[in-house]
């Protein structure tokens, strides 16, 4: 069942692991797709029913008219769960996926058990930053964004040491639909969950990258300080920490969810 209908739109999903195991729902970052979790799924699928989906406007999921909103992206996640008959699930989201996770925890907390929010922020200003990225995408396509994105995602020493991984990441960015990218940029631009997340009571793990230039350590620390039942882990990594530290990321999530 690779394509499901969510609120009348087509969403691309992948399911791994035992059908009777607890569900772990994964949510991808901006300008990525569900393949960003390929390093972790074989490990997690031994313990969980791993469900991945491409965000709206990304991968093989519908590219609808922009702009998008965090409310829309959150309702997409609820719709994926409904379409698959999932009542509750653990959550793991990185960057944009973590932002959607915060929406879930504040608007549909009964659907989430434990949540991992990795390399993310409750607010990401300024507005001009996101308007600039939207304009760059419209003028030059994803090719104009691929190298700046790679440089934000990974430190230079890792880029030099893992050329095959960098090629895989570049290909993933380049196949992101422009309208999906700009639509999700608008959702991030217009998001401010700093007050809402204070109501979260679920058990939450916040993963912070000590070298992250996009969602800085202070952004993660704000989330931790706002959620009463939150823990934190700091990786020696930049923004896409599950790619840079694949084994540590996989084991940390399992330890938290166990």
**pLDDT attached to residue 222:** 98
Mean of pLDDT values over 167-195: 98
pLDDT in tens, 47-98: 999 999 999 999 999 999 999 999 999 999 999 999 999 999 999 999 999 9
Name the percent of the chain lying above pLDDT 90: 98
Mean of pLDDT values over 40-46: 98
Mean of pLDDT values over 101-116: 98
pLDDT in tens, 119-135: 999 999 899 999 999 99
Structural domains of the chain, ranges and CATH numbers in brackets: 3-257 (3.40.50.1820)
Neighbouring residues of 218: CB distance < 8 A, sequence distance ≥ 6: none
**pLDDT attached to residue 158:** 98
pLDDT in tens, 189-220: 999 999 999 999 999 999 999 999 999 999 99
Question: How does residue 1 score in pLDDT terms, banded at 50, 70 and 90?
Answer: low
Residue 99, by phi and psi: left (phi above 0), alpha (psi -120 to 50) or beta? alpha
Strand partners, 116: 92, 205
More confident residue, 117 or 7: 117
pLDDT for residue 172 is more than 90: yes
CB neighbour class for 62 (10 Å; exposed up to 12, middle 13-18, buried from 19) = buried
**pLDDT attached to residue 7:** 87
Is the Cβ–Cβ distance between 118 and 98 less than 8 Å? yes
Mean pLDDT of the chain: 97
The candidate with the shortest Cα–Cα distance to 142, out of 18, 31, 255, is: 31
């Amino acid at each position: 069942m690779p394509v499901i209908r969510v609120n009348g739109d087509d969403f691309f999903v992948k399911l791994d692991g035992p059908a009777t195991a607890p569900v772990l729902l994964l949510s991808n970052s901006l300008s990525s797709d569900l393949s960003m979790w390929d390093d972790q799924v074989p490990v997690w699928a031994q313990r969980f029913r791993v469900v991945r989906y491409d965000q709206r406007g990304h991968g093989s999921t519908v590219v609808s008219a922009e702009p998008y909103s965090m409310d829309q992206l959150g309702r997409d996640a609820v719709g994926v769960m409904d379409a698959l008959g999932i009542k509750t699930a653990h959550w793991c989201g990185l960057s944009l996926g973590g932002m959607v996770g915060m929406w879930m925890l504040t608007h549909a907390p009964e659907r989430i058990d434990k949540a991992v929010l990795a390399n993310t922020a409750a607010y990401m200003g300024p507005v001009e930053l996101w308007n600039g990225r939207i304009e760059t995408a419209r003028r030059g396509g994803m090719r104009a964004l691929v190298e700046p994105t790679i440089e934000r995602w990974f430190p230079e020493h890792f880029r030099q040491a893992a050329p095959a991984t960098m090629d895989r990441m570049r290909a993933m960015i380049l196949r992101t639909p422009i309208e999906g990218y700009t639509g999700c940029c608008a959702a991030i631009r217009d998001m401010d969950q700093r007050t809402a997340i204070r109501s979260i009571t679920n058990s939450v793990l916040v993963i912070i990258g000590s070298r992250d230039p996009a969602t800085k350590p202070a952004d993660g620390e704000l989330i931790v300080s706002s959620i009463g039942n939150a823990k934190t882990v700091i990786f020696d990594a930049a923004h896409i920490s599950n790619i840079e530290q694949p084994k540590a990321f996989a084991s940390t999530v399992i330890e938290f969810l166990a």
